[in-house]
Amino acid sequence: MLIGVTAAVAAGILHELVSLLEHTGKYLQTRDFWFADIVFILLPLFGIILSYAAQRNLGGNRYAKSLSPLILSLNRRRTSIPLRETFSHVISSALSVGCGGSAGLEAPSVLTGAAIGANTAGFFGVDRRQKMLMIGCGAAAAISAIFQSPVGGVLFAIEVLLPEFSVAALIPMLISSAVALVVSRAVFQHEQALFFINPSWRLDAIPYYFLCGIVCAAVGVLVIKSVYFITSVIKKHLSSPGRKIFIGGILLCLILAAFPILRGQGYYFIIRLLHGDMGALLKNSPFTENLPIPLAATIIIAAAIILKAAVSALTVESGGDGGIFAPTMFIGAFTGFAFARLINLSGIAELQEENFIIVGMGGVFSAVLRAPLTGIFLIAEVTYSYVLLVPLMIVSSLSHAAARWFEPNSIYRKALAEADLLTEDRDQAMLRTLSVRVCITPEFTPLAPELTMKQLRTVIENAPKSDFFPVLDQDEQLLGIVQLEQITPVLFDHHFAETMLVFDLMSPARWILNEDDDLARAMNMLEHSSLEHLPVKNREGKFMGFVSGNDIFKLYRGIIRESSAY
């Protein structure tokens, strides 16, 4: 309950800051001063500059603007989140989105909620397993407060952040999410951003809902690929922060000036689309003001579907802060509308366009985030369209399944999977949660390379029982390994007692682990090397001890028991 209240207050402050900045931009847009239009056009650039300054001063050099680092940390059972993240994302994302940047507030809200959950759990001294649950509570509460979607918030935490949670863990997350909704409405008077009364769906439209799911899957894959393409281009050609901010920011301002429909989160334009107000969509666009309305509408809708993800990536990668939730829903709404309108214009059928706008949001959301349950209930709660649950189920599930054929990973997990940081293999995922430090056997008997066989026998007789001996130099650097089984014939041959040295018999250490390596890497090296033990060195290159396959297996069994109990 405490996490729910705190996350709701943080989300409410973020929402109010964005509203204040958006009203400032609208005020500039209505002024007659000659420089007001220039300031309004450049406002997203100013927002990016201020957002970047906030990130550097409040978040440090390792400021995370995506949920990917959080997903990776939770996947590896790391639950520590700096206290500054309980407020840094609120400020930076408000400046970026409120000034016209094309992004959503959901990812910053989730990161803020997760930080609130982690630090609250740390304050009360709960254990690591419960701390992960508290992080889920914070994330669910943040989604609930921002979207007015308590069930969607809980499902998002389960599907995206904490996929291994049991049914029993739903209860505290539901409580946190419900409390966040109550506080959001009671304190900030927030309501559904996309409230709309939909007509009931018709049976004759069912085949078209299936077809719409396929279209949403294709658009969702396009969103993922376009975001990663823009990200890679910016990282490759705009390496310095200054160039990213000014070149990327100026380009963003030009695109938003040409297509004002792409500014901000886009919820206003979704509402206008639901009400059939095409005039609001075409307003203030210099590219379409002199064109016939059908052609102008076609250009605007195509820009909404194709460019929204690109400008969202441009906003974030240029130095701003924000998420992909709102852009995804925006793209989905226009995708569903375009699909229904094309079918209606063809004369094949007469579809309810407003219904397809709603299910299109759920379809593209499920394809991009790979969270079909969240897509179904989040869209139903945000738009108050519970009457469309069955079409939402069809479109979201089919879109999710079809998108996996072309792009197996969600937008958050794609980079992690390509860098081999996340895997669908449950055993590998569990072993990656721990570093080799926890399995090092520190008791070892070091050997000097100049020892003779006679001296070596004395050392072995007085040493603890061991079959592996590291050969170290004066700086504790590993030179090689002596395996007792391999040197036994020579060790007890009196002909070599004084003439042969440890240096002559040691085997080179071809397989060496670093202390920061995870246990999955250790197991892979043990399998490929056919060895029973692997040496481990620290960051300075000094030998730390051995890791054995038996020790890793014992620890793995402990993790399995802990996970099952959880």
Per-residue pLDDT of the chain (566 residues; tens, 9 = 90+): 999 999 999 999 998 999 899 888 777 766 666 677 788 888 999 999 999 999 888 876 667 778 888 888 887 777 888 888 899 999 999 999 999 888 888 889 999 999 999 999 999 988 877 888 999 999 999 999 988 889 999 999 988 888 666 677 789 999 999 999 999 988 887 776 677 777 888 999 999 999 999 999 999 999 999 999 999 999 888 878 888 999 999 999 999 988 889 988 888 899 989 888 888 888 777 777 777 888 888 888 998 999 999 999 999 999 889 888 889 999 999 999 999 999 999 989 899 999 999 999 999 999 999 999 999 999 998 888 889 999 999 999 999 999 999 998 889 888 887 776 666 556 666 666 667 777 777 677 788 888 887 787 777 777 766 777 888 888 888 888 887 776 777 767 677 667 778 788 788 877 888 877 877 778 888 877 777 778 888 888 788 888 887 777 777 776 666 555 44
**Residue carrying structure tokens 């050609």:** 237
Contact by Cβ (8 Å): 141, 180: yes
Rounded CA gap, 243 and 187, in Å? 41
Stated pTM of the model? 0.79
- Give ∠ CA 329-332-333 in degrees, rounded to 5: 85
Give me the phi and psi of 293, to 5 degrees please.
Answer: -60, -45
Helix 206-237 and helix 293-317: axis angle, to 10°? 50
Instruction: Please report the sign of the dihedral spanned by the C-alpha atoms of residue 371, residue 375, residue 376, residue 382.
Output: positive
Rounded alpha-carbon distances, angstroms, from residue 556 to 334, 375, 549, 562: 48, 35, 10, 10
Amino acid at 184: S
* H/E segment holding residue 534: strand 533-537
Rounded CA gap, 297 and 268, in Å? 17
Amino acid at 236: K
95-115 b/e with 16+ CB inside 10 Å = b?
A: bbbbbbbbbbbbbbbbbbbbb
- Burial of 312 (C-beta count, 10 Å sphere; 0-12/13-18/19+): buried
Helix 325-346 and helix 293-317: axis angle, to 10°? 160
Rounded CA gap, 374 and 396, in Å? 9
**Residue carrying structure tokens 């920061």:** 516
DSSP 62: T
Rounded CA gap, 480 and 484, in Å? 13
Contact by Cβ (8 Å): 471, 489: no
Q: Tokens representing 530?
A: 């056919």
- pLDDT, tens digit (0-9, with 9 covering 90-100), for 167-200: 777 899 999 999 999 999 888 877 766 777 778 8
pLDDT of residue 33: 67
Rounded CA gap, 336 and 209, in Å? 10
Q: Give the strand pairing for 533-537 and 513-514.
A: parallel
Contact by Cβ (8 Å): 261, 281: yes
* H/E segment holding residue 309: helix 293-317
Chain mean position to CA 331: 19
Rounded CA gap, 160 and 412, in Å? 9
Chain mean position to CA 326: 15
475-505 b/e with 16+ CB inside 10 Å = b?
A: eeebbbbbbeeebeeebeeeebbeebbbeeb
Radius of gyration of the chain, Cα coordinates, nearest whole angstrom? 29
Rounded alpha-carbon distances, angstroms, from residue 561 to 430, 565, 566: 12, 6, 9
**Residue carrying structure tokens 């700086």:** 475
- Burial of 165 (C-beta count, 10 Å sphere; 0-12/13-18/19+): middle
Rounded CA gap, 395 and 381, in Å? 16
Phi-psi region of 530 (alpha: psi -120 to 50; beta: other; left: phi over 0): left
pLDDT of residue 566: 46
pLDDT of residue 362: 94
Helix 170-188 and helix 128-147: axis angle, to 10°? 40
Q: Tokens representing 124?
A: 């009360």
pLDDT of residue 264: 85
